[in-house]
Amino acid sequence: MGRPAVVAQGAAFLPGGERVVISGHTPSAGGRLFTYDLSTSALSPISPEGVTSYFNAMVSPDGTQAFATGLDGKLTLYPVEGGEPRIVPGSSKDDIAIRWTADGRALYVLSRAALPARVERVDVATGERQPWLELTPPDPAGVQSIGPVHMSADGKAYVYSYRRKLDQLFVVDGLR
């Protein structure tokens, strides 16, 4: 059996370690979520084309669903074993899912547009949002965006990056 022809952008093991959820694309199709069985090399799509997740923590702790940005730009949950996807209530197109909480009841999300960056805990059943963390670089001058953000499942440990653009202005006198 050959290796799957998928370029992966993110991957997460399912409980038991025999299968993996992959966010990637094939040479003939756009991005989507797949399951890959390590023993049989079977590759099965679980989302439509055009769906991506760049995080390795996309699979729920119980292994039943994976998050990704849906076709409409909103956070969507895809059942790993098949079924109808479900938009996370209360989510917006500005939300970037970081990871599941340890209990699998909520997602940590980063608001794409906010500076300082706000991480919130979004309940996947009710859409209730709770502020969790605010991120500001030590020197915010020139910071254009914050991310990616990676967190532990308990939310106590995190690491983040940011993009900064600094320019220099030179004033010259006496040129002719």
Q: How confident is the model over 48-63, as pLDDT tens digits?
A: 988 877 776 789 999 9
What pLDDT shows up at residue 113?
72
Rounded Cα gap, residues 13 and 172, in angstroms:
59
Q: Please name which of 3, 5, 40 lies closest in space to residue 19, comparing C-alpha atoms.
A: 40
What pLDDT shows up at residue 119?
93
Q: Which residues of the chain have pLDDT under 50?
A: 1
Rounded Cα gap, residues 40 and 88, in angstroms:
32
Contact 60, 68 (CB under 8 A): no
What pLDDT shows up at residue 6?
72
Task: Encode pLDDT of 86-97 as tens digits.
Answer: 999 999 888 999
What pLDDT shows up at residue 81?
94
What pLDDT shows up at residue 2?
53
What pLDDT shows up at residue 1?
46
Q: 169 CB contacts (<8 Å, ≥6 apart)? A: none
Q: Backbone dihedral region of 54: left (phi > 0), alpha (psi from -120 to 50 degrees) or beta?
A: alpha
Task: Encode pLDDT of 93-111 as tens digits.
Answer: 889 999 999 999 999 999 8
Instruction: Report the amino acid identity of residue 136.
Output: T
Residue ranges in 110-149 assigned as alpha helix (H): none
pTM score, two decimals? 0.84
What pLDDT shows up at residue 88?
96
One-character DSSP codes across 16-67: TSSEEEEEEE-TTS-EEEEEEETTT--EEE-S-TT-B---TT-B-TTSSEEE
The domain limits of the chain are 1-87, 89-165
What pLDDT shows up at residue 130?
96
- Burial of residue 143 (number of CB atoms within 10 Å: 0-12, 13-18, 19+): middle
